[in-house]
Structure 1
Amino acid sequence: MVFVSLCLASFLAALDVTIITTALPTITQAIGGEDKYVWIANSYVITSTAIQPLFGQLSNIFGRRYVTLAAVSLFLLGSGLSGGAVNVGMLIVGRCIQGAGSGAIMMLLDLIICDLVPLRERAKYIGIVMSSSGVSAALGPLIGGAIVQTISWRWIFYINLPIGGLVLVSVVCFLNTKHNRSPTWVHALGRIDFPGNFLFIASVVSLLLGLIMGGQIFPWSSWRIILPIVLGAVGIGAFIFYESTPLCKEPTIPLDLFGNRTSAIAYVLTFLSAMLLQWATYYLPIYFQGVQLSSPTRSGVQILPLNTCLIPLTIIAGIIVSATGKYLPVHVASFALMSLAFGLFTRLDADTSTVEWVFLQIVAAAGLGFTMNSPLTALQASLPDSYSASATATYAFLRSFAFVWGITIPAIIFNAQVDKHLDKITDAGLQELLSGGAALSYTTKHFLLSLSESARNQAVSVFTDALKISWYVSLAFALLGFVLCFGEKQIELRTTLDTEFGLDEGKKSTDGTKPADNNTSGGAV
């Protein structure tokens, strides 16, 4: 029943991410926030990324059960505020709160499984829980479109409330976990790394603001982009320095997590795999719409080979790791397949056959699916179970952080390449439209069909060349991951648990009564 609860929570968090994709333009127009589209879309991403290490530390101090309840409650509060929003500001605040809850939920799912299941079995069980998010990812766009067309956009958010209520009930009833309680609330609060968390969250938010605004609201050369990126980078450097000093009694992200080559490489592989996943899922639809002239609906169908194969192949990878006790061959195979797929993506053009792009997506799904969760096994194998919370929270943060880079890096490359090849377009008006970092917004069937045949062919040729360079860069990242895999050590996976955070099963004593809890003195946390 605990796993049922985790599956429900996974379904809830993933549904919100995908259900809004088809509805966001309608929501933005209905509430009058066309000029705030970037913030409505990305406020959720910013908070869900920045908050994860804090929730990892809180789960160590206050226990998994209560922090999970807090995370789900935050998510429901944000859903209610977003659904009831009367202006753009209220909607953005609601999305920020939703994002904080969702980011914490997704991190806690992995962490609780780590508490309940020995290391050798974890990848398999994480894959099982992820299957529920795969179902919601597939259903989300369909449900979102149906709600917008038949009811009201507000139910995009309200639908979370009954599902979230069910998650809350299941967590209360079944997720009874142990933790090392602090003697008083003052002692518990004193364990929180307030300076470190403030530095980290402020720095990550600043960095993400620059990355998200760059090329969309202001040009990359603008001081409004450079300043937050620089401040964010300096802040992260200050955070790393502070975490290494004696002033930090209980670090949010202990630097020991990166103290051996296997855990350090596993974190890099996590980042690269997540970035390339976003690269493929975001830019393949751009290829279908901007080169093959597909409609948005058809491009959603055309990327189904990748989306539908991803979760089953992730589960298969988990089963392989559990059955063999080996994660290193899975990582090598994963980045070899990614390198093959992204290398062959450079062949995609207007004449590519359906068979070819379907096959390439399946190969990419195998590569990306094999490292969707298995790096967590590698890094935890090289670390003691006492680091489980901070290791998992850092892993979740890097994965979310990589998603932003998976959109930003190819966007910079694509727009730069379009600017470079504008001389291939003879129409001066079209040149002006596509220049200055605006090209991505014109990779649509509707816009391209509005052009003359010669102008359309020239634009498609430029888009094809720009995407080709983008795929070459993604190939470089995949090859980097392939080389790094050989730096990992294959460590024997533990088949027993050594943790203070397992289930509190309430075993009865020999006289049939429950034993007294030695940690439940008055005021304990």
Structure 2
Amino acid sequence: MPTTVVQTTGATPDAGQTQPRTPSKRDVLFVFIGLMVTMLMSSLSQTVLSTAMPTIVGDLGGVDRMTWVVTGYALAMTVMMPVYGRISDLFGRKPLLLIAIMLFMCGSTVGALAGSMDFLVSARVIQGLGGGGLMILSQSAIADVVPARERGKYMGVMGAVFAVSSVAGPLIGGWLTSGPGWRWAFWMNLPLGVLALAAVACFLHLPKPSKENQSHIDYFGMALIVAITLIIVLTCTNTSKLNTLNWVEVAAALVVLIALFVSVELKVKEPVMPMMLFSNSNFDVATIGALLIGVAMFGVLSYLPTYIQMTTGVTATQAGLLMVPMMASVLITSIISGNLVSKTGKYKAYPIVGTIIMALGLALTSTLKADSPVWMLCIYTMVFGLGLGLGQQILMLIVQDAFPAAIVGTATASFNYFKQVGATIGSAIVGSVFTSRLTGFVRDNLAAAMAHVAAAGAGTAGGRGMAAMKGATVLSPSDLTPRAVNALPGMLRTPIVDAYNSALLPIFLWMVPFMVAAVIVFFFVRQKELSTSIEH
């Protein structure tokens, strides 16, 4: 293992700045455990309520605000990413991470005690305000205690934790809902939060940053990036409600706000997202590639569990179990690739090969039929997972190694911000196209089935079948939940499931060009020698 040395950059620390100390192996281990727990809490909270929502709506009402339980968390988390990154570079990672953990625990407590949907949405927003910090600061803090050459194996494990918890979220949510109750999806965060607080407070020892630039906080830039993010997220989650004029207005507002944001960031002393980040080719390449992959990856993963339920007739929990092969493949390749990077110091090939394998997995998945065997679905999604685990966390290592320690938090946050924006756009694209296609396929398939029933004969059974099908033709896509579809008689269920398959799976193939574009971009990554020291 390379020798770990602490380096300082810049002038001699002033009286208000503590000297850095070399972290012991014990400190690194306990800090890493705490950071994994924070990553676990943040990623679990993105998916754990998905299987609990029907029960929650039954308990609290407010079905019209149900989508905000998910959107509120995602919006708050995305908005806070660049803010946490920059503030942590100015004021230090440790205090911000402790605040983020406590904020997340506060939101969890409010959610567990929520007596109405409005309170639950408020709790999710509070969770998101803390969750953005958990996601960013856990990744940034690794760079503070582990040199780049050794960081690969730690990033690999963190990537595995993120992937496993994201897939396991629906499983845990389903188990809690059918067992102790959905409120435990919030209560469980409190002991995890206490563990993370203890690990960070006791074992994360970092030098205090210089106070020289702490008075130059970019409030205007933060406000602008919040406004830009609000427009992007709200637009992407309400695409079906926008007409052509609305789209023109949204585009015009974004152009004006982005131009103003760039102008502000070029002028202020401590910008929330320094434009100099974009002068680094490795940052540009990794960020563009991650955004492209985010569009494809999250667009697919958002609908895959529902697709499994719809075509196989299994419950949400069972659908989560069918995603275990993909989860296992992510876990394996994420850890292997991280360790190989730490051993060899070479990283360029992993995002390229990983993205190619992901594209292959998407292409294979797009060939599935409604009656395809379950084992085939598991194998194809496992191929996708192999690629996902191989390269995704390596991109974070590439970004962090491209900049000095003074702006690692900012670089990490900016990278994750664009990745999250890509995920939001991808989910919106797939959702919008899928919904419009599903309506047409359901109408056409039911019309064909009605013609078949009519041709078969006009007996009593045929008359009942015709009446049922005429009623089904007025169903909207929002009515076609897995539970509702699986409760239908075979003459109705089969054409609807076929329509679902025909509407969704070709879109997976349409996501492959995004992966191909990312592969081309990753060829421009510049291989650098990874540092064997910790820089402060």
Residue 447 of structure 1 pairs with residue 469 of structure 2: no
Amino acid across the alignment from 1:220: L
Distance 2:381 2:52 in 1: 26
Q: Return the match for 2:280 from 238, 254, 260.
A: 260
Q: Return the match for 2:322 from 302, 308, 313.
A: 302
SS at match of 2:474: helix
User: In the alignment, what sits opposite 1:474?
Assistant: 511
Amino acid across the alignment from 2:186: F
Distance 1:491 1:181 in 2: 29
Query: Does the aligned pair in 2 maintain the 1:207–1:230 contact within 8 Å?
Result: no
Q: Return the match for 1:348 from 368, 373, 378.
A: 368
Amino acid across the alignment from 1:191: H
User: In the alignment, what sits opposite 2:243?
Assistant: 221
Query: Does the aligned pair in 2 maintain the 1:10–1:130 contact within 8 Å?
Result: no
Residue 240 of structure 1 pairs with residue 265 of structure 2: no
Residue 11 of structure 1 pairs with residue 40 of structure 2: yes
Residue 425 of structure 1 pairs with residue 446 of structure 2: yes
User: In the alignment, what sits opposite 1:56?
Assistant: 85
How much does 1:28 deviate?
2.7
Higher alpha-carbon deviation: 19-28 or 337-346: 19-28
Structure-2 change in CA distance of 1:397 and 1:178 (3 Å): same
How much does 1:276 deviate?
3.0
Structure-2 change in CA distance of 1:223 and 1:95 (3 Å): farther
User: In the alignment, what sits opposite 2:19?
Assistant: none
Query: Does the aligned pair in 1 maintain the 2:437–2:503 contact within 8 Å?
Result: yes
User: In the alignment, what sits opposite 2:202?
Assistant: 173
Residue 211 of structure 1 pairs with residue 232 of structure 2: no
User: In the alignment, what sits opposite 2:124?
Assistant: 95
Query: Does the aligned pair in 2 maintain the 1:413–1:469 contact within 8 Å?
Result: no
Counterparts in 2 of 1:324-473, with a 5 A limit?
Answer: 324-421=344-441, 422-426=443-447, 427=469, 429-434=471-476, 439=477, 441-442=479-480, 444=482, 446-451=484-489, 453=491, 455-473=492-510
User: Which digits, 9 at most, give the CA deviation of each residue in 1:65-91, with x for residues without a partner?
Assistant: 111111111111111222222332222
Q: Return the match for 1:153 from 174, 182, 185.
A: 182
User: In the alignment, what sits opposite 2:302?
Assistant: 282
How much does 1:303 deviate?
1.9
Amino acid across the alignment from 1:231: A
Distance 1:151 1:284 in 2: 27
Query: Does the aligned pair in 1 maintain the 2:434–2:503 contact within 8 Å?
Result: yes
User: Which digits, 9 at most, give the CA deviation of each residue in 1:496-524, with x for residues without a partner?
Assistant: 233x2xxxxxxxxxxxxxxxxxxxxxxxx
Distance 1:241 1:203 in 2: 14
**Unpaired runs of 5+ in structure 2?**
1-29, 448-468
SS at match of 1:110: helix
Distance 1:164 1:417 in 2: 43
Q: Return the match for 1:193 from 211, 218, 222.
A: 218
Query: Does the aligned pair in 2 maintain the 1:207–1:233 contact within 8 Å?
Result: no
User: In the alignment, what sits opposite 1:312?
Assistant: 332
Distance 1:229 1:23 in 2: 36
Amino acid across the alignment from 1:423: D
How much does 1:429 deviate?
4.4
Amino acid across the alignment from 1:212: T
Structure-2 change in CA distance of 1:112 and 1:137 (3 Å): same
Residue 496 of structure 1 pairs with residue 533 of structure 2: yes
Query: Does the aligned pair in 1 maintain the 2:82–2:417 contact within 8 Å?
Result: yes
Query: Structure 1 vs Structure 2: percent identity of aligned residues?
Result: 28
How much does 1:111 deviate?
0.3
Distance 1:146 1:475 in 2: 34
User: Which digits, 9 at most, give the CA deviation of each residue in 1:24-68, with x for residues without a partner?
Assistant: 322232122211101122101100011110111111111111111
Distance 2:257 2:489 in 1: 47
Higher alpha-carbon deviation: 410-419 or 335-344: 410-419
Amino acid across the alignment from 1:67: L
User: In the alignment, what sits opposite 1:44?
Assistant: 73
**Unpaired runs of 5+ in structure 1?**
501-525
Query: Does the aligned pair in 1 maintain the 2:365–2:381 contact within 8 Å?
Result: no
Higher alpha-carbon deviation: 167-176 or 122-131: 122-131
Structure-2 change in CA distance of 1:299 and 1:223 (3 Å): farther
Amino acid across the alignment from 1:488: V
Distance 1:147 1:469 in 2: 34
Distance 2:298 2:282 in 1: 24
User: Which digits, 9 at most, give the CA deviation of each residue in 1:286-323, with x for residues without a partner?
Assistant: 33233344433332222221123222321212112222
TM-score (ref. length: structure 1): 0.85
Query: Does the aligned pair in 2 maintain the 1:144–1:156 contact within 8 Å?
Result: yes
Distance 1:4 1:381 in 2: 22
What is the aligned length?
A: 485
SS at match of 1:497: strand
User: In the alignment, what sits opposite 2:22?
Assistant: none
Distance 1:377 1:411 in 2: 31
Distance 2:178 2:391 in 1: 37
Distance 2:317 2:198 in 1: 37
TM-score (ref. length: structure 2): 0.84
Query: What's the RMSD between the two structures over aligned residues?
Result: 2.5
Distance 2:439 2:174 in 1: 35
